[in-house]
Structure 1
């Protein structure tokens, strides 16, 4: 069904596995670098380090947040190392660029990744010029989504009115606080159709197609 987004004035997008398809497995490269880092940092066997990495992600929103909380780790070296991967798997999507370009109003990126990572990915995807700004993990003082405090900080920093904002995410749990604030939520990815959460308002496996078909506010 065509989504009615005629009320939306601010378009808020997650970055990884949202503005490019998860199927390209770019994040798998980053996750592998995370496992390398956690193995070296903790001294654990690799399989145990990977399990710890996943547990911290589940419990704290990011592996980084868990390492900072439980091990007192400084974040910069971690972010620099894990995001230093080949970008060959990322391919510009002309249809997605046109769909985002056609959106009326403001466009922002809201990511648990670093500022530098977001800049590189957006540039590689040919989307960097379409967004007003990026709210990254450094801006959040390393407190990741889905923390409500981080959503509130983002809305204050960018003067976002939640009731006229649509938020696009591949992670279901990150849409819950957005919905509580009054945002329209869109779950993106091949897994989206299976979601039954009442805080997910729309679901799509094809972001470009969803935006192109949606009813938008007249410019």
Structure 2
């Protein structure tokens, strides 16, 4: 059940679980677009398609399998490691450190981990680019999850075991509402960053959402 962010109790939290892309940084930054364009290019090259047809296939695989990589694995027997290496080969030289986000994360009590359908290497690159990698004690990525993406409930349980997290004292922050359902079912407090560029997701059943905000820094300013 939705609650006002003013009722969020940070001192009751021992572990913070953050998604990476479009969560650590806002969707409006366009940063994930760089990855998405590389996905399209990979599919273009693989199947000799024009950009529009490759993009359509990319989104079809995403919708049916949870991630484009999972779709390529299951339907086309593609080595996901090759795909991941290609799509995460993006230039981050124009990304500056974010002192405010650094300070806000420093104000959060407890352990902080990344939970991503991308790779740990990609997470490290993003966190280093923003100057915030020192806040995170670990990363549970798609490789550790044996390429089972969120929202597969099994990987949430494995994440908790791997990092010794107590669900009732943890919070998960994520931009995709569907990925919060398994966390909620485990007793984790859920925070949905409802990205302003994709408000269509607000039409889904949000009974598994505890708190909603619009970007990470806006949320952390209220609770840190």
TM-score in terms of structure 2 length: 0.89
Q: Encode CA deviations 1:137-166: one digit per residue, 9 max, x unaligned.
A: 111111111111111111111121111110
Does 2:82 match 1:82? no
Q: Encode CA deviations 1:28-67: one digit per residue, 9 max, x unaligned.
A: 1111110111122123333222111111111212100000
Structure 1 SS opposite 2:55: helix
Structure 1: gaps of 5 or more residues: none
Match of 1:176 in 2: 181
Give the deviation of 1:213 after TM superposition: 2.0
Inter-partner Cα distance in structure 1 for 2:7 and 2:16 = 14
Structure 2: gaps of 5 or more residues: none
Match of 2:28 in 1: 23
Inter-partner Cα distance in structure 1 for 2:66 and 2:110 = 29
Closer, same or farther: CA 208–9 of 1 in aligned 2, 3 Å: same
Contact 1:90 1:124 in 2 (8 A): yes
Contact 1:68 1:74 in 2 (8 A): yes
Q: Greater shift after overlay, 22-31 or 1-10?
A: 1-10
2:15 to 6, 10, 28: 10
2:49 to 35, 44, 48: 44
Contact 2:73 2:79 in 1 (8 A): yes
Give the deviation of 1:88 after TM superposition: 4.2
Does 2:208 match 1:203? no
How many residues of Structure 1 are paired with residues of Structure 2 in the alignment? 215
Match of 1:123 in 2: 128
1:58 to 58, 63, 71: 63
Structure 1 SS opposite 2:12: coil
Give the deviation of 1:4 after TM superposition: 2.0
Closer, same or farther: CA 125–3 of 1 in aligned 2, 3 Å: farther
TM-score in terms of structure 1 length: 0.91
Inter-partner Cα distance in structure 2 for 1:13 and 1:142 = 18
Computed over aligned residues only, the root mean square deviation of the Cα atoms, in angstroms, reads 1.8
